[in-house]
Structure 1
């Protein structure tokens, strides 16, 4: 059985030049739209916060950039010792980074260089020096008592009061800049000793 004469291969018709350009532009727009959606989705979950001052030394240095879990307190509870970022209560356009020391209903007492919560002495190997100030604070419902790790120069709850829970942006989970300082941020057991 013989096949008939072979026909030359049929080339697909080329699209007119203007249609090709529109197709390429459409693909570029789709890619840009997908990138924007991904950026905003990630930004809704993970925040970034630059350490501006020395109030959290030696834990963080000025210029380091922290990764912040914005959903940590939507699905979890505040815990002693966690590092949080929040809108400064006296000027919400400013964001601060501090450590949770007191939760709602707690009594925080600072005397003779020691910090106690509900009478229990805190174990704080992360601080730069013992606090030189004194005071007692009763933490109201819906508020947090926070301190900087560089206790004496830090402007924090011992200076301006409590942080409303709704001001909290999220929990600091890692340092990602500069690259040579990348590390996870852990929560110490401040009642360990």
Structure 2
């Protein structure tokens, strides 16, 4: 949606400039020329005055408060489903300028377990979503479907087999677990139907200013195990709420997910 952000900035600037130029240089002269007659504003000025406040409000809310995103893939199942529409807190990790994503005011940093939206280094024009597992200085390892954090394996509690629906039906039969990430236990999915497929095993030490992120759908996620660390500069915000779910193959709107907080 980078194109939408750019278009919103351009339209806001254009309508604002037209409005100000008319107010400073043309409106008074137009009124004097009209005399006692009713002043008729040019159409472009009329539209600019009407739309600028709306565009400016949307731009500020979207850039500095909360931005909506749609989940396009299954990499965060079972936490987030294909078709979820989420809200992302845009000031949790600092205020950033639209388009450039340059941080202008530092407010906070990601905590372990946060679900974050970011520009992946290998696809800077896209928005991805994963969970922060490793903070700067942490050593993260992944072996035999187990995450090790600073040398200690995380705990896992089984909840039986997962039953998917809609576009996530292919995940049916996977193991549904709660992963005991310190301070933020959360659900994950693991599959048993790939016994000879080694999925992203290794050990990594997270450098300063970067993060190790993983998808909750451990056997179907392109994350830090494969492309490396997430730079702090590429963060977009913290996902915190599901405000809508629409999956046509699952029957349309799933009202049970509306208003759910993201663990």
Which residue is equivalent to 1:65?
Answer: 85
Which residue is equivalent to 1:159?
Answer: 226
Q: How many Å separate the matches in 2 of 1:126 and 1:57?
A: 8
Which residue is equivalent to 1:96?
Answer: 128
| 1:111 and 2:143 are equivalent in the alignment | yes
Which 5+ residue runs of structure 2 have no aligned equivalent?
A: 1-35, 95-106, 155-179, 193-197, 246-252
Pairing partner for 1:126 from 187, 202, 224? 187
Higher helix fraction: Structure 1 or Structure 2? 2
Which residue is equivalent to 2:209?
Answer: 142
Runs of 4+ with deviation above 6 angstroms: 25-28
Q: Which has the higher contact order (CA 8 A, sep 6+)?
A: 1
| 1:183 and 2:259 are equivalent in the alignment | yes
Per-residue CA deviations over 1:63-112 (Å, capped at 9, x if unaligned) read 21211111111111211111000001112011110000001110001122
**TM-score with structure 2 setting the length:** 0.59
Count the aligned residue pairs.
Answer: 171
Bigger Rg over Cα: 1
Which 5+ residue runs of structure 1 have no aligned equivalent?
A: 1-14, 188-193
RMSD (Å), alpha carbons: 2.5
